[in-house]
Structure 1
Amino acid sequence: MDIGLPRERMVLKTLPFFGEEVREGRVALTPQGVRELAAKGHRVYVERGAGERAGFPDALYEAAGARLVSREEAFGRGEVVLKVSRPTLEEIALLRPEATLMGFLHLATAESGLIEAMAEKGLTAIGYELIGDGERRPVLKAMSEIAGRLAPQIAGRLLEAPLGPGILLSGLPGIPPADVVILGAGVLGRAAARAFLGAGASVYVLDKALSALEEAAKEAPGAVTALVTQSRLERYVAFADVLVGAVAVPGERTPVLLTRDLLSRMRPGSVLLDFAIDQGGIAETSRVGLYQEMGVTHFCLPNVPALAPRTASHALTVTLLPFLLEMEDDPLRVPALRQGAYLVLGQKGGHLE
Structure 2
Amino acid sequence: MRVGTPKEIKNHEYRVGLTPESVRELVANGHETLVEQGAGLGISATDDEYREAGAEIVGTAEEIFERCDMVVKVKEPQAVERAMLREGQILFTYLHLAPDPEQTADLVKSGATCIAYETVTDDNGGLPLLKPMSQVAGRMSIQAGATALEKAHGGRGILLGGVPGVSPAKVAVIGGGVVGLNAAQMAVGLGADVTILDRNPEVLEELGNYFEARAKTRFSNQANLAECVTQADLVIGAVLIPGASAPKLVTREMLSTMNPGSVLADVAIDQGGCFETSKATTHAEPTYVVDEIVHYCVANMPGAVCRTSTYALNNVTLPHALNIANKGWKEACRSNPHLAEGLNVWNGHVTYEAVARDLGYAHMPIADALK
The answer to whether TM tops 0.5 is: yes
> 1:329 aligned to 2:327?
yes
Asked if 2 retains the 8 angstrom alpha-carbon contact of 1:76 and 1:94, the reply is yes
Matched residue, 1:318: 315
Residue type matched to 1:322 in 2?
P
Asked if 1 retains the 8 angstrom alpha-carbon contact of 2:237 and 2:268, the reply is yes
2:39 maps to which of 39, 42, 50: 50
Displacement after TM superposition at 1:219 (Å): 3.5
Q: How many residues align?
A: 341
Measure the CA separation in 1 of the matches of 2:292 and 2:226.
Answer: 17
Measure the CA separation in 2 of the matches of 1:156 and 1:321.
Answer: 34
Matched residue, 1:345: 347
Residue type matched to 1:227 in 2?
F
Matched residue, 1:182: 173
> 1:147 aligned to 2:149?
no
Structure 2 spans left out of the alignment, 5+ residues: 282-286, 357-371
1:94 is paired with a residue whose SS is coil
1:101 is paired with a residue whose SS is strand
Displacement after TM superposition at 1:130 (Å): 0.8
Residue type matched to 1:349 in 2?
T
Instruction: Determine which structure has the larger helix proportion and give its number.
Output: 2
Matched residue, 1:168: 159
- Please list the CA deviations of residues 303-324 of structure 1 after superposition, one character each: whole Å capped at 9, or x if unmatched: 2111100000001110111122
Residue type matched to 1:298 in 2?
H
Residue type matched to 2:44 in 1?
G
Asked if 2 retains the 8 angstrom alpha-carbon contact of 1:194 and 1:219, the reply is no
Matched residue, 2:80: 90
> 1:229 aligned to 2:221?
yes
TM-score by length of 2: 0.89
Displacement after TM superposition at 1:338 (Å): 1.5
2:151 is paired with a residue whose SS is coil
Measure the CA separation in 2 of the matches of 1:189 and 1:74.
Answer: 37
Residue type matched to 2:317 in 1?
L
Asked if 1 retains the 8 angstrom alpha-carbon contact of 2:141 and 2:267, the reply is no
Asked if 2 retains the 8 angstrom alpha-carbon contact of 1:171 and 1:201, the reply is yes
Asked if 1 retains the 8 angstrom alpha-carbon contact of 2:3 and 2:68, the reply is yes
Residue type matched to 1:333 in 2?
E
Backbone CA RMSD of aligned residues:
1.4
Relative to structure 1, is the Cα distance of residues 350 and 71 closer, same or farther in structure 2, using a 3 angstrom cutoff? Answer: closer
Measure the CA separation in 2 of the matches of 1:97 and 1:24.
Answer: 27
Matched residue, 2:24: 35
Say which is worse superposed, 184-193 or 278-287, in terms of deviation: 278-287
- Please list the CA deviations of residues 277-301 of structure 1 after superposition, one character each: whole Å capped at 9, or x if unmatched: 1111111111123101111100011
> 1:196 aligned to 2:196?
no
TM-score by length of 1: 0.93
- Please list the CA deviations of residues 3-53 of structure 1 after superposition, one character each: whole Å capped at 9, or x if unmatched: 110001111xxxxxxxxxxx1111121100110111001111100011111
> 1:105 aligned to 2:127?
no
> 1:260 aligned to 2:252?
yes
Measure the CA separation in 1 of the matches of 2:56 and 2:209.
Answer: 47
Q: Percent identity?
A: 40
> 1:60 aligned to 2:49?
yes
Displacement after TM superposition at 1:236 (Å): 0.8
Asked if 2 retains the 8 angstrom alpha-carbon contact of 1:29 and 1:316, the reply is no
2:194 is paired with a residue whose SS is strand
2:80 is paired with a residue whose SS is helix
Matched residue, 1:16: none
- Please list the CA deviations of residues 44-71 of structure 1 after superposition, one character each: whole Å capped at 9, or x if unmatched: 1100011111211111111101110121
